[in-house]
Structure 1
């Protein structure tokens, strides 16, 4: 039995596999895709994003276009370089930040940690900030059984690199950026080592211009 949640990576990407353009534009979803995203949010216990997604997009990660509960919001931030006026610091719903335990030894981080704590946001410290370690901790200590990952590209890459995921759901938007942030934005696999997933479902979006795909490991 896995000591981690069921992990679903969800993203809307361009035809050439980009989450965002070179100028960080990432508004790709049609209204139907937004509803699909928010329905999934209402079905999971937590949503996870990387710190760069918080800095660039300032998401709320709440349920707006569907009925249901708001999940726990989870941020990964090695440096704790976060704007405390970001939407995710408005609680409830609860927000958890995962960071390196080494930050506790750095005096300049103490004020940042204190400021975050005063916002009612929980910080959890790990010796190694690996995706599998984060997922195990949130499963064992926070009771998260199903989690949705919404980005960004580096976070998604790290999950895939560690093989720490179960499902990938992607919507293909009819745009081509040619440059920008890739869906899995990392050093990449050698071709023979690249994971091959099983296609579970493919359907034309209600808008008639996007395609939604579901893969499992």
Structure 2
């Protein structure tokens, strides 16, 4: 079984999560609130290892009321991560899923649980087994691409910010689909952001 998986991101007009140098500060304060409101509603927040290395996020709920802290999840095949990153401070609980055979000792010392996976679907099946019924994926581009390619998502929620990057990391950073193979989603909601300069879109798999 899989939890309900929501991909949430803020992108430039040309669909970039970040510039070629890694700059990714796109959200207005209202978009940040929207992001944190969803964090407060889910059971787990998932990011890729590269997002942790570049952004060093805490993945906590700051701008919304919450009943409990969602599990923080990092997917890193290589386990090439610094244990001092913010996401590895506890609480709340953090799980790292990896394919690496490196010793997880330094993470375990910090209260981080390290679990192995062979296919990406294993991560979400395991999260479901741990009680996660609704999961938010915040990036990065390579992880989002893998989820879209494998059909491991139910919604994509995107805020379009009034910036043009021209190059950098795409929302789905991968080899791409061939023509008609590309999934076609259904637009189920849209709104002009309270800042009057961004648009928030909600798409669902058909």
TM-score scaled by structure 2?
0.97
Deviations 1:52-79 (A, max 9, x none): 0000000011010111132100000111
**Alpha-carbon deviation of 1:131?**
2.2
Q: State the secondary structure of the residue aligned to 2:7.
A: strand
Unaligned 5+ segments in structure 2 are none
Partner of 2:38: 40
Number of matched pairs: 204
Deviation string, structure 1 residues 173-194 (Cα, Å, up to 9, x no partner): 0000000000000000001100
Q: Map residues 1-217 of structure 1 onto 2, 5 A cutoff.
A: 3-68=1-66, 69-100=68-99, 103-104=100-101, 109-110=102-103, 113-126=104-117, 128=118, 130-140=119-129, 142-217=130-205
When you count helix as a share of all residues, which structure comes out higher? Answer: 1
Matched residue SS, 1:75: strand
Structure 1 segments of 4 or more deviating over 3 A? Answer: none
TM-score, structure 1 normalization: 0.93
- Where structure 1 has 5 or more consecutive residues not aligned to the other structure, the ranges are none
Instruction: Say what the alpha-carbon RMSD is for the aligned residues.
Output: 0.7
Secondary structure at the residue paired with 1:158? helix
Q: Secondary structure at the match of 1:7?
A: strand
- Distance in 2 separating the partners of 1:157 and 1:75: 16
Residues 72-114 of structure 1: CA deviation (Å, up to 9, x unaligned): 00000111110111001101000000011xx33xxxx22xx11
2:27 is paired with a residue whose SS is: coil
